[in-house]
Copies of this chain bind each other. A is one copy, B any other.
Amino acid sequence: MSKGKVTHYANIEAKEFGPTAPGARIRVLIGEDDGAPVYKLRMIEIDPGGNSPDHAHPYEHENFVVEGAGQVKIDGVWHDLHPGDVVFVPPGVQHQYRNAGESIFKFLCGIPVAKLIPEV
């Protein structure tokens, strides 16, 4: 049974996304391996000039901007993002993130754990 977890996010490994998200890395802050029953909390970090894929999926995103300047495109409309901004991307909505500044753009991105992700 999970005993809980307290750590700084920088202690958690950052993995490259790969070619579909140039300059982007992800840290799984809380997930199935921690015993999370419902939600997976990730930190996304995008270098200057980098972006996520422009895509849609059957589950939502819940974001909180931690550092840097970025933008999110939701349903074709770009929104500027700064620290303290909150973003909700509903299930099925087309979206993309990109760095819009000169430093690393960091934001939290929550999604359901795998067993709760709806099938397409």
Contact = CB atoms under 8 A, between A and B. Distances in A.
Interface of A: 1-10, 12, 29-30, 34-39, 41, 59-60, 62, 64, 66, 72, 74-75, 79, 81-82, 84-91, 93, 108, 110, 112, 116
A86 B5 contact: yes
Please tell me how many copies of the chain the complex holds: 2
Nearest to A81: B6
Contact of A84 (B9, B84, B112): B9
A90 B2 contact: yes
Nearest to A39: B39
B85 A39 contact: no
Contact of A37 (B74, B79, B91): B91
